[in-house]
């Protein structure tokens, strides 16, 4: 089969198309899936670029959707012909956090889904939402589940609350759509006026250009009538935390999601104590979180925002496009 693999030590010019033997039949608790679509995320980019070293010859990509071809003798959850979607942590079924690494995550600790057929443990898959295309489904695993866990499980978000989402990336767009579907008010930030208009069209109640308005946290706080926002989806880390702290209400929740601004943060401690802020680190979610989100997306008729699609062989180009920051929504891979 065709697969996109990474030669050690990584780097986008070391991604190449390979012909790999895929004759292995699924073990008792495994299923074999004909992959149809994948989706790229920062984590995959970290692996592909060599910043998060992996094994020589690793097949890339964590998020993918496809059709079950064959099931192992003990599998009862799926049948050949079912549409399925990978999850990030097959070892985390449900409940509180149980993992802190990517040792069993496709495209990192184990081979990923940038290939024609993928065989893995049944616990690595959920169904896809009814009515979703394969490309739409493939966007759920990393971006969707992280937004869901941050808002619904860790939040937990209540109708009428205010959520601040940063930038127009995959996690923030899912958080915006989920929050609006649950009756929350959403403040969205972006570096581009064109993207702000699109965020408005998706339902954002208030938008702020974080490039033109470096004090966007104070502006968000003012927009809430001086109360502050209930939940912040923080994707910038060092570059956004001081303003996230400005924006949040007394006793509010800052979901620590991303590191777009770097790995080490300097934060003002006095407002952290004074506001009694709850910081909650979030690392994707459990199998159950993904299954709950799949159900939620189907019943609330939320459609993910797709940006561009690339062919499997164009995976390195897809990463370069992600690097350019032009995208609005998810970049998908047609397999």
Ligand X SMILES: NC(=O)c1ccc[n+]([C@@H]2O[C@H](COP(=O)([O-])OP(=O)(O)OC[C@H]3O[C@@H](n4cnc5c(N)ncnc54)[C@H](OP(=O)(O)O)[C@@H]3O)[C@@H](O)[C@H]2O)c1
Separation of alpha carbons 221 and 228, rounded Å: 4
Nearer to ligand X, 157 or 188 (CB): 188
Q: Which listed residue (105, 142, 224, 286) binds ligand X by CB under 6 A?
A: 142
Q: Are 36 and 134 in contact, with CB atoms under 8 Å apart?
A: yes
261 binds ligand X (CB under 6 A): yes
Binding span for ligand X by CB under 6 A among 69-77, 212-220, 265-273, 277-285: 277-285
Taking CB positions, which residue lies at the least distance from ligand X? 169
| Interface stretch with ligand X, choices 61-69, 121-129, 169-177, 312-320 (CB under 6 A) | 169-177
> Can residue 287 be called a binding residue for ligand X (CB under 6 A)?
no
Q: Which of 166, 244, 286, 290 binds ligand X (CB under 6 A)?
A: 166
Q: How far is the CB of 321 from ligand X (least distance, A)?
A: 10
Backbone angles phi, psi at 26, to 5 degrees: -65, 140
Q: What angle do CA 177, 183, 185 make, to 5 degrees?
A: 75
Looking at the Cβ atoms of 104 and 240, the one nearer to ligand X is 240
Q: Calculate the alpha carbon distances from 210 to 187, 190, 195, 276 in Å.
A: 12, 6, 12, 25
- Residue nearer to ligand X on the CB measure, 3 or 248: 248
Q: Is the dihedral of CA 208, 217, 297, 43 positive or negative?
A: positive
Q: Please report whether residue 41 would count as binding ligand X according to CB under 6 A.
A: yes
CB atoms within 10 A of CB 214: 10
All residues at 6 or more sequence positions from 193 whose CB lies less than 8 Å from its CB, including other chains: 209
Task: Find the binder of ligand X among 195, 198, 249, 253 (CB under 6 A).
Answer: 195
Distance from C-alpha of 53 to C-alpha of 51, rounded to nearest angstrom: 6
Binding residues for ligand X (CB under 6 A): 41-43, 142-143, 146, 166-172, 190-192, 195, 235-236, 239-240, 257-261, 282-284, 322, 325
């Amino acid at each position: 089969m065709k697969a996109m693999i990474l030669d050690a030590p990584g780097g986008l010019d070391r991604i190449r198309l390979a012909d790999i033997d895929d004759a292995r039949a699924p073990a008792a608790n495994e299923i074999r899936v004909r992959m149809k679509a994948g989706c790229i995320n920062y984590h995959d980019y970290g692996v592909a670029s060599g910043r998060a070293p992996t094994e020589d010859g690793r097949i890339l990509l964590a998020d993918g959707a496809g059709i079950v071809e064959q099931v192992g003798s003990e599998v009862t959850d799926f049948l050949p012909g079912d549409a399925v979607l990978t999850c990030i942590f097959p070892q985390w079924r449900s409940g509180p956090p149980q993992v802190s690494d990517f040792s069993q995550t496709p495209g990192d600790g184990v081979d990923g889904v940038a290939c024609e057929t993928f065989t893995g443990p049944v616990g690595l898959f959920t169904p896809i939402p009814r009515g979703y295309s394969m490309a739409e489904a493939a966007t759920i695993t990393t971006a969707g589940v992280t937004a869901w866990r941050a808002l619904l499980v860790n939040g937990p978000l209540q109708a009428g609350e205010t959520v601040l989402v940063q930038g127009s990336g995959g996690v923030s767009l899912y958080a915006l759509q989920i929050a609006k579907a649950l009756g929350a008010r959403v403040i969205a930030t972006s570096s581009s006026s064109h993207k702000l208009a699109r965020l408005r069209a998706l339902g954002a109640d208030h938008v702020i250009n974080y490039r033109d308005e470096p004090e966007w946290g104070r502006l968000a706080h003012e927009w809430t009538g001086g109360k502050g926002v209930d939940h912040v989806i923080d994707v910038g880390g060092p570059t956004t935390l001081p303003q996230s702290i400005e924006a949040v209400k007394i006793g509010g929740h800052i979901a620590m999601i991303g590191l777009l601004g770097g790995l080490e943060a300097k934060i003002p401690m006095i407002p952290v104590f004074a506001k009694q802020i709850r910081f909650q680190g979030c690392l994707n979610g459990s199998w159950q979180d993904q299954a709950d989100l799949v159900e939620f997306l189907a019943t609330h008729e939320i459609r993910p925002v797709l940006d561009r699609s690339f062919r499997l062989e164009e995976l390195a180009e897809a990463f370069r496009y992600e690097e350019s920051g032009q995208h609005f929504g998810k970049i998908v891979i047609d397999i």
